[in-house]
Amino acid sequence: MLMGEMIFDTHAHYDDEAFDGDRENILENLTENGIEAIVNISSDLKSIEDTLALTRRYPQVYGAAGIHPCSTDELDEESFKAVLRAALEPAMAAIGEIGLDYYWDEPGRGIQKKWFERQLELARETGRPVVIHSREAAKDTLEIMKAHKSAEIGGVIHCFSYGTDMAREYLNMGFYLGIGGVLTFQNAKKLKEVAAYAPLDRLVLETDCPYLAPVPHRGKRNCSLYLKYVVKALADIKGLTEQEIIRATNRNAKELYRLDRREVTERNPL
């Protein structure tokens, strides 16, 4: 199977304890299961270190360094330096996941906004795209991103959960939309409308594993191998073959993370 003919998982959390029993087996066998690469996304300071360790052990694993909005209360000026140091590692392809989460609404919105803004500027300074988490915070997320001229930074709206009006805003800014297992849910009317509306060259595949497993595995632990169900759902919506979806989203993922601009030899040695 040719590279580019394989699935690229743009958002995973293989550092999660849900994979403690078989992490090595999954990651060592990605290629033979049709997965070319994944990007492991950080959410707190510990997961940044764990993600770095995964990138050093598995050449098909890239990483993103960032603090999830719900973990921003662990940040101060000193600990923020650790995020910067990690972001400069060659295998760290993005800053994320960062953003706003008003579903949990803690820590307070002021703290979330402060560190969202700081991490957007970190992305600008390091030349990395951003992985945006936005849950029940559509208006504030968009306002902050526009204020920080995020169209110049670039990135992806992870697990896109808003409607076509908001999708239009981000597509006009040049952002990609992350599509995962929710697309296979029977009640995912809004996301299916977005998937139909958005140009294929702006969509990328993601698992968010171990979360959001697609049908027929809904409610169970998710993993990259289940992206084939998302591919089928997206192919049906777009009226394309599954191979066309895989090829296009693979290309989009590499453009999103700017992997086509780097040599493999830049990666840290094992």
pLDDT, tens digit, for every residue of 69-95? 999 999 999 999 999 999 999 999 999
3-state helix, strand, coil in the chain (%, to 5): 50, 15, 35
DSSP assignment string, 134-166: EES-HHHHHHHHHHTTGGGT-EEETT--S-HHH
Strand boundaries in 212-258, DSSP class E: none
Compute the average pLDDT of residues 236-247: 98
β 130-135/176-179 pair status: unpaired
Q: 97-119, pLDDT tens digit by residue?
A: 999 999 998 899 999 999 999 99
Indicate the SS3 state at residue 58. Answer: coil
User: Which domains are present in the chain?
Assistant: 7-264 (3.20.20.140)
The single residue listed with the structure tokens 């598995």 is 58
Cα dihedral sign, 211-216-220-224: negative
**The pLDDT of residue 160:** 97
The pLDDT score that the predictor gives to residue 105 is 81
Q: How does residue 267 score in pLDDT terms, banded at 50, 70 and 90?
A: very low
Cβ neighbour number for residue 220 with a 10 Å cutoff:
10
Question: How far, CA to CA in Å, does 261 sit from each of 84, 90, 103, 254?
Answer: 21, 12, 37, 9
pLDDT greater than 50 at residue 181: yes
d(CA 77, CA 215): 43
- Calculate the CA 128 to chain-centre distance: 13
Q: What is the pLDDT of residues 138-165, one digit of tens each?
A: 999 999 999 999 999 999 999 999 999 9
Cα distance between the two ends of the chain: 25
- Nearest to residue 65, comparing CAs of 88, 99, 31? 88
Any bridge partners for residue 97, and if so which?
Answer: none
What is the distance between the alpha carbons of residues 68 and 72, in angstroms, rounded to a whole number? 6
* Whole-structure pTM value: 0.95
CB count within 10 Å of CB 252 equals 22
Closest CA to 249 of 80, 21, 35, 15: 35
With 50 as the cut, is the pLDDT of residue 264 above it?
Answer: no
Per-residue pLDDT tens over the stretch 16-66: 999 999 999 999 999 999 999 999 999 999 999 999 999 999 999 999 999
Does pLDDT of 261 surpass 70? Answer: no
Mean pLDDT score of the chain, rounded to an integer? 95
pLDDT score for 113: 98
If pLDDT is split at 50, 70 and 90, which confidence band does 5 have? confident
pLDDT at 161 (0 to 100): 95
Instruction: Give me the pLDDT at residue 1, please.
Output: 52
What SS3 state is found at 262? coil
What single DSSP character describes residue 123?
H
pLDDT digits (tens, 9 = 90+) for 199-226: 999 999 999 999 999 999 999 999 999 9
Residue 2 — pLDDT band, cuts 50, 70, 90?
A: low
E strand or H helix at 134: strand 130-135
pLDDT of the residue at 260: 73
How far is the CA of 2 from the CAs of 7, 224, 233, in angstroms?
A: 11, 18, 23
Q: For residue 235, what is the DSSP state?
A: H
